[in-house]
Amino acid sequence: MSEHRIPVAADKKISPPISAGEQKGCKGLKRTDLMLRFAAFVCCTVTMVVLITDKQTSAIQVPGFNNLTITKTVSFDLAKAFVYLVSAAGIGAGYTLLVLVLSIISAERSKAIAWFIFVFDQLITYVLLAAAAASTEVAYMGAHAPPEASWLKVCSLFGRFCHQLGASLVTSLISTVLFAFSAAISAYYLFSNTNVRPAYSKG
């Protein structure tokens, strides 16, 4: 008689159960992450709106002609760095809104989504940092006009424009810091467990 071998199912690796303390910690991190991302969304949106609406028209006296003035209008698109910052803030706001929606509608993250969030958290953090740094340098040049740069002191002529620009730079730097903290949390969720548990566990 031929022997019939009964196939034995391969052992499956089962993740160890999550303790009550771990569940509480996951919930606390989730709340922190959601608050950070919501604050980053607000800051990115404020940065974008404040910059887009930053426009001022002033009458400038022509040097050497006491009675001759020209009207000049400045806006955020006078420098490519400011346009870049608007684009970066818009991308950051859109991405953050997407992650917030995913986090609210789903209590768990798949491995693929966890990797997606981790990678884009890092990417957008660096994009925002580069945009904020470039815009801050251009704003500094416009405000102080170093002689070797042969720049005109824009802020002495367009004060409101510079104040509004400064506010957008502050919010962009704050959003960069918030994104950095969110990126750290997403990295922790992804790499803290070798079994790659879902980022937000139910319970």
Q: Which H/E stretch holds residue 75? A: strand 69-75
Position 33 pLDDT exceeds 60: yes
| CA nearest to 99, candidates 157, 19, 185 | 185
**Assigned token pair, 120:** 């884009």
Q: Using the structure block, give the residue that is written with the tokens 């502050």.
A: 170
pLDDT at 200: 45
Please tell me the distance from the alpha carbon of residue 157 to that of residue 72, in angstroms, as a whole number.
10
Alpha-carbon gap, residue 102 to 106, rounded angstroms = 6
Give the CA angle between residues 99, 101, 107 to the nearest 5°: 90
Question: What pLDDT score does 133 carry?
Answer: 95
What distance in Å separates the CA atoms of residue 197 and residue 195, rounded to the nearest whole number?
6
Read off the pLDDT of residues 180-195 as tens digits, 9 standing for 90 and up. 999 999 898 888 753 4
Tens of pLDDT, residues 88-121: 999 999 999 999 998 888 767 778 888 999 999 9
